[in-house]
Each structure stands twice: as C-alpha cells, then as structure tokens.
Amino acid sequence: MIPIKNKKKNLEATVEEMRNFSVSYLEKYSPSKQQLKTYLLKKYLKSSNTKNKKQDLIELIDIVLKDLEESKFISDKFYSEMKAKNLIQRGSSINKIRNYLIAKGINNKYIKETINNITDNNENQDFFSAVKICKKKRIGPSRPDDNRPLFYKKDISILARNGFDFETSKKVMDLDKDEYLKIINLL
C-alpha cells in the first residue's frame, strides 16, 4: 500500500523553508516586498520537487511576507526612503526616482510620501542633481568654454535621459563657469 503524504505537513514545511530562504536573501540584499515576492516565486517555480499549485505558492508567499512585514524585516516605506536618498546622492532627478520606485513595486502612497519629503527638504533638488550629473559626466558648465556650444544639444539630451525637464536642463546649461564652481563647492 502506498502511503498518502499529508498535504498540510508539506505546506508547513514549505512555509518554513520559504522563511529561511527569505531571511537568507534579506541578509544579502535589502529588497522591496515585491522583489522578495518575485524571488520566492521564481525559486519555487523553478524547483521541480514542489508539487504545489502556483496559486497555493502565491498564498504561502503572501503569508511569509506578511509575517516578515509584521516582524519589521521588510518595509516598503523604509525601502523607498533609503533608495531615494541613495539616488539623490548619485544625482538622480525626482522623475527618475519616482520611476525607479514604481518599477520596484513600491506602493504609490509611499512613493508620494518620499517625493513630498524630498521636495519639502529642498525645492531645487532637480537643479542640484543636474549640476551633480554635469560634474560627474563632465558636460555643460564643466566643459571648456570653447567646446560648450558644440556639445549643447548632446548635453541637453544627456540631462533629458536622466529625467530632468527642459527648463532645469537649460538653467544648468546656461550657468557661468564661476557660478558652477561656487555651486559645486557648496555640494
């Protein structure tokens, strides 16, 4: 006679295994809730030894994520604030930060809070970030004066690809060398 495996024990073992995978993943990385969910789903769909349905796996993953969120291992609010600060230090625009957080699956409420905090702390954040990009990529005001008119369109397009609007890009590109150096020294 073939023994019938208890499905409930199998699911409990899977939940415990998921918690262990989640904790080990959280030790290496600091993911958003959606990133961790995607990681666990891919991991369990790839493994052929699980005989659970996809919907059962999603429900189990949601249980594990809820448990991790209640125990403060993951927090989308904290994730969005930290990533925004990191991206600001690199010189990213507010549009780029917003799109990055949307791509990572952060709740819209947390994105709005983060963007409002950035604009409350500094109204001209995009301007200063654009200046950082100019310094980093040696474009615009950091170019020698005789080359600036030749590369004007190229420099404006670099700033546009980094998420800056035309007015901000034009304002940064029209800076004198002396004003640019003063701003760089303040940053």
| Across 52-59, average pLDDT | 78
Assess whether 88 and 61 both reside in one domain.
no
Q: Is 109 found in the same domain as 147?
A: no
The structure's pTM equals 0.81
Quick one: 139 and 171 in the same domain? yes
Give the span between the Cα atoms of 47 and 37, in whole angstroms.
16
Look at residue 156 and tell me if it is in a domain: yes
The count of structural domains within the chain is 3
Say whether 2 sits in a helix, a strand or coil: coil
In the predicted structure, residue 62 carries a pLDDT above the cut 60:
yes
Q: Round to whole Å and give the CA distance between 182 and 187.
A: 9
Same-domain check for residues 108 and 130: no
Residues 97, 48, single domain; the answer is no
Q: Does residue 82 form part of some domain?
A: yes
| Distance, CA of 33 to CA of 62 (rounded, Å) | 10
pLDDT at 8 over 70: no
101 and 116 belong to one structural domain: yes
Average pLDDT, stretch 42-58? 74
Domain that holds residue 112: 76-121
Angstrom distances, CA of residue 66 to CA of 36, 74, 127: 12, 9, 39
Percentage of the chain beyond pLDDT 90 is 55
| Residue 53 or 8, more confident | 53
- Domain assignment present for 34: yes
pLDDT band at 123 (very low <50, low <70, confident <90, very high): confident
With pLDDT > 70 as the criterion, what percentage of the chain qualifies?
A: 90
Tell me the HSE value of 110 on the side-chain side, using a 13 A CA sphere: 21
